[in-house]
Structure formats: structure tokens, C-alpha cells
Structure 1
């Protein structure tokens, strides 16, 4: 009986500490993602928080294909906006995340296997599997951090009207499926193109890509074009039941 009381007391104390630390919440600052799994936080704090992928996905904050279809249907359809006034500098990145780390290094650590960082938080070794083309890379310098919804695409679909803080959160979002380590070749092939104009070379990645793109656009209230919506529908329809 005495041992049971001690164990129960320890559990209650641990629960109180977690509640005080705010570990029961989830979602980002611009709408959140209530239907996604609530991954645990780790690593340096970031705009929008930091999260780990769950359930076999390589990105955090993912929703199911069914939820993504519902969100896609709710997105406003509009023609692309003008690029007038656009500059990557208006989307502050990569933001400092503490412990000498910036957003790029946090994502490389999250997405890699056996990643070792030096005293400046730079990845000096590890292994990365690039979702877009299926390539395996062991040199961090050959990896880019892709914005699933590119900054320029965000600008054309609503971010031109945002303030600096929201653009910074969008460019450094570690909670929603907006940042991913991929090969430099795949990232530069994509550029700022939407899914109707560019699809990952490996079709096996289309389900995750479509869910991620839709989740980010929904979270930030961005618009889609008719052609973009059609391709996203095709990607989501290819997800396993």
C-alpha cells in the first residue's frame, strides 16, 4: 500500500509539472491544427513551436487525407496575386532558435538519422532521406530546407497583406508541415512552383506532399488556384484508404 501511494504521488506530481509547462496544448499562432496529432515538443523554441513527425510521416503537424480533403474544399479559390513588392527578405529566415541553432539546423537535426552537430550547431554528420526523390544523403551541405509552400507562392496567395511577424512565423514554422530537408537538386527544381506546375519526382511522396501543402495553406488562410486545387485533389485521392 505504501509503495502504491508513493507511485500515485509521483504520477500526480509529474502531471502537475507537465500542466505548468503547457505541454497539453498544440497548434501554431495563425489558426492552429486541431485535427492533427499533437506531437511532443523538443529542441529549441521556435515561432509556432517545434514538433516531431508522427505516424510514419516525415513532417510534423500532418492531418489525415480525409481531413485534408475537407480543408481543401474550404480553401478560397482565386487567381494568383501580383509579385509586386515581393522580397525573400520580407520573410525573416532562418530565425535563431537558441543554443546557437537557427531554423535550418533544427530541421536538419529533426529530419536526419544519427545527426551530430558541432559547437556551433552545424550538422557535421548524419543521414538524410529526401522525400521528393528518394535519395539518401550523408552530406548536410547537399541538403536544402524546403518551404513546402514557397515564400513567393505564399506572397501570391495572401502573404503580401501580412505583417512582418506573421511572415517570419510562416518562414520558420516548426509545428506545421511547412519545412522539410530535401536534396538541393529537388528543391531547386521545384523553385516557387505550386503543385499543378511541379510535383515531387517520386510519386510515392505525393500523398504526404498534398496533405502538407493543403494543411499549410489552410492554417495560414492562403488561397488556391483552380489548377492547384485539381492537382491537390489528385494527390489526396492517391492516399491509401
Structure 2
């Protein structure tokens, strides 16, 4: 298993270019390390298929999230800066202006308060597919992963509709995003060696067929 600790210096080096009044170019809005459709199909075929585990013992507190990344910037604020266009932030790192495109539903927002930061693979889903056996440190890395396509800014109520559902139960309303969504989900599950269920695998395969 590869841990993200070794990637932290690279991430922090990149973040040093972000001042308290940052303008983020449009071409950095896509979450990192999204595999190609062919790569995603290969990864999907190698993921262990197993029944979903139990929810017993789960708590979001077991996945320390929105940790400080640099200065006043938490994980959430770092993603808001990455995913937005012409984002300006104050000394507290919270965006004072900017615009955000929500890939799940195609909506455009100009207030950060209208957005949630979605965990591509929800924390509860991860718990039931292997994360229950992890250390707290590893769960923290998962919940704040800026290296893999695990976090993205989306319309808040759409994210709330998703809740902790897998792709067999929920898909983005914008069908043209199904391909990229599946590629991201597969990448995260594969990287963290989390299991998938049969219905989950079937749904992901169908979504990859739209690529």
C-alpha cells in the first residue's frame, strides 16, 4: 500500500504559490490523476469484489477531515481554490469571490457557500469496503487526499442527495459526466485497495461504456 505522506512535500511546494489573494487558472480545476478510460477498465478488473461490510462502529470522526494544509488553508479551502475560476481569498483563506462549475449537475456558482466538497468515495462507503481496518492516520490521508481524484467542489444539495451512495445507487444528474465520475471512483478504490460489490462493478462498467 502506498501512503500519501511521501507526496506531501510536493503538494506543499505547489501550494506556496498561492497567496492570500489568489487567482486560479481554469485549467487547474480538474481533480488530479484521473485515469484514461482504458486504464480505468484495467483497474476495475483488478479490484476485489466482495459483499459490502457493516456500518457498525462507523463515525466521520474516525476520518479526521478538513485538516490544515498550509497557513490558514484547510483541505476544503484548498479544493475551493483549485476547482474555482478567478478565486480570491482573504487572510482566513475563505474565498471572497470567484466562480465554480459543478461537474455533477452543470451549475455555475459565485458563492463558495453554495458548494460542498464531495468525497468521491464517501467515508462511510470506504468504511464498509475496507477502511474499518485502517489506522486513523491512513483514514485521515484518505479524507484529505489532494493527490488522487477523491475531492471536488460540487453543488451542495446535489452532494447531499448523493450522501454515502455508491454508483449502483446514485449517479451524477449530468449524464455526460458519468465517464469521468466512474474513472475517478475506480482510481480511488484501486489506490486504496478498497473492495467493490457486484452491483457497484456493473454500474461502473456501464458508466465507462459511455466514455
TM-score over 0.5 for the pair: yes
Instruction: Map residues 145-156 of structure 1 onto 2, 5 A cutoff.
Output: 145-156=117-128
Structure 2 CA distance, aligned partners of 1:94 and 1:56? Answer: 20
From 163, 187, 190, the counterpart of 1:218: 190
From 85, 99, 109, the counterpart of 2:81: 109
From 149, 155, 158, the counterpart of 1:183: 155
Looking at CA atoms only, which structure, 1 or 2, has the larger radius of gyration?
Answer: 1
- Alignment pair present for 1:201 and 2:173: yes
Q: Deviations over 1:11-32 (max 9, x none)?
A: xxxxxxxxxxxxxxxxxx7368
Q: Deviations over 1:202-240 (max 9, x none)?
A: 00110110000000000000000000000100111111x
From 37, 41, 44, the counterpart of 1:65: 37
Which has the higher relative contact order, 1 or 2, with Cα contacts under 8 A spaced 6 or more apart? Answer: 2
Q: Deviations over 1:73-92 (max 9, x none)?
A: 00000011001100000000
Instruction: Map residues 65-144 of structure 1 onto 2, 5 A cutoff.
Output: 65-144=37-116
1:158 paired residue number: 130
> For this pair of structures, how many residues does the alignment match?
199
Q: Gaps spanning 5+ residues in structure 1: where?
A: 1-28, 33-38, 45-51
Q: Deviations over 1:89-139 (max 9, x none)?
A: 000011111111000000000000000001110111100000000000000
Residue pair 2:76, 2:117 contacting (<8 A) in 1 also: yes
Q: Gaps spanning 5+ residues in structure 2: where?
A: 5-10, 17-23
What stretches of structure 1 move > 3 A for 4+ residues in a row? 54-57
2:207 paired residue number: 235
SS at match of 2:96: strand
Structure 2 CA distance, aligned partners of 1:55 and 1:123? Answer: 18
What root-mean-square deviation, in Å, do the aligned CA atoms of Structure 1 and Structure 2 show? 2.4
Q: TM-score, normalised by structure 1?
A: 0.78
SS at match of 1:42: helix
Residue pair 1:149, 1:213 contacting (<8 A) in 2 also: yes
Residue pair 2:28, 2:82 contacting (<8 A) in 1 also: no
